[in-house]
Amino acid sequence: MNKKLINIECPTCGNPIVSKYANGEVTGLLLHKCSRCKRYWDLNYTTGTISWVDGKPDKTPAKNFIVDLSTGKTRPMYDKALLRRKGA
C-alpha cells in the first residue's frame, strides 16, 4: 500500500505547509500555518485557492494565490505585469 503524497507549499517561502494524498478527496476550507515564516493561510481545496489570513502584513505583497493540487505549487492569482498593462 504505497500512496503518493503531495506537499502543498507556502506561497511566500516555499516551505511545505500540509501534505495530502495524490488521489485523496479533500474539500472545504482549512486554515494552515507555515512553520518557517509564521503566516496563516486559508486553503480552499474545493476551488484550489489559498489566501493570506494573518502574519507579517507589511511583508506579504500578494495575498491570493492559485494552488495546483496535483503538484502542490502555487502562483499569484493576479499577475502584477498584467495589472500594470491594463492600468489597474
Structural domain harbouring 35 = 5-86
- pTM across the whole model: 0.74
Half-sphere exposure of 17 (CA within 13 A, CB side): 26
pLDDT of residue 3: 80
pLDDT reported for residue 82: 53
pLDDT (mean) for 19-34: 82
DSSP assignment letter at 10 = P
SS3 state at 59: helix
Per the structure, the count of domains in the chain is: 1
For residue 79, the model assigns a pLDDT of 57
Q: How far apart are CA 85 and CA 6, in angstroms?
A: 35
Torsion of CA 21, 73, 47, 61, to 10 degrees: 140
Q: What is the pLDDT of residues 31-80, one digit of tens each?
A: 888 889 889 999 888 888 899 888 887 777 788 899 888 888 888 887 55
The residue-averaged pLDDT of 3-15 equals: 87
Torsions phi, psi for 50 (to 5 deg):
-130, 135
